[in-house]
């Protein structure tokens, strides 16, 4: 199975991220997708950019013949994400500004990223996965 998916929230991220990092050497690409939670009243993400980008990202990653790991990190509901002190906004590794953000994780650091305004672009996703 080429695509391996792990899910995390701010409260579970530490343990899930440790597992993700320990398995990283076994994969051709290791990606972290920071995205908005699902709104229970609509069954959709509260973030329109996430709704647009997620299907494109998943389609590209599932089409890969290489082993790819994807850590989906759910930022929380809109008020939680809007807090300027959100843990991933202030984290020196990630410095999130918007969601969705797709990050390539390599050699225990961020090696590339697609911000919210570009995370739905297939050619950019391909380049990020390929490490270009």
CATH number of the domain that residue 63 is part of:
3.40.30.10
> Based on the structure, what is the number of domains in the chain?
1
Is residue 40 flagged as an active site residue? no
**Could you read off the pLDDT tens digit of each residue along the chain, which spans 132 residues?**
579 999 999 999 999 999 999 999 999 999 999 999 999 898 999 999 999 999 999 999 999 888 999 999 999 999 999 999 999 999 999 999 999 999 999 999 999 999 999 999 999 999 999 998
Per the CB < 8 A criterion, the answer to whether 1 and 68 are in contact is no
What's the confidence (pLDDT) of residue 1?
A: 52
What's the confidence (pLDDT) of residue 121?
A: 97
Helix (H) or strand (E) holding 123: helix 122-130
Q: What backbone torsions phi and psi does residue 71 show, to the nearest 5 degrees?
A: -100, 115
Q: Considering the candidates 8, 35, 50, 71, report the single residue annotated as catalytic.
A: 50
Q: Considering the candidates 47, 73, 75, 96, report the single residue annotated as catalytic.
A: 47
Is residue 47 flagged as an active site residue? yes
Is 30 exposed, middle or buried (CB count within 10 Å of its CB: 0-12, 13-18, 19+)? buried
C-alpha 56/C-alpha 2 separation (Å) is: 17
pTM for the full predicted model: 0.95
Q: Give the domain range for residue 70.
A: 3-130
Radius of gyration from C-alpha coordinates of the chain: 14
């Amino acid at each position: 199975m080429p695509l391996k998916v792990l899910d995390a929230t701010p409260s579970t991220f530490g343990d899930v991220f440790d597992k993700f990092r320990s398995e990283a050497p076994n994969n051709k690409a290791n990606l972290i997708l920071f995205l908005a939670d699902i709104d229970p009243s609509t069954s959709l993400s509260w973030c329109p950019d996430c709704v647009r980008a997620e299907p494109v990202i998943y389609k590209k990653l599932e089409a890969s013949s290489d082993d790819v790991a994807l850590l989906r990190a759910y930022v929380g509901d809109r008020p939680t994400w809007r807090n300027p002190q959100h843990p991933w906004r202030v984290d020196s590794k990630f410095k999130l500004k918007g969601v969705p953000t797709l990050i390539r994780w390599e050699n225990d650091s961020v090696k590339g990223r697609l911000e919210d305004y570009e995370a739905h672009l297939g050619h950019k996703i391909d380049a990020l996965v390929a490490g270009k």
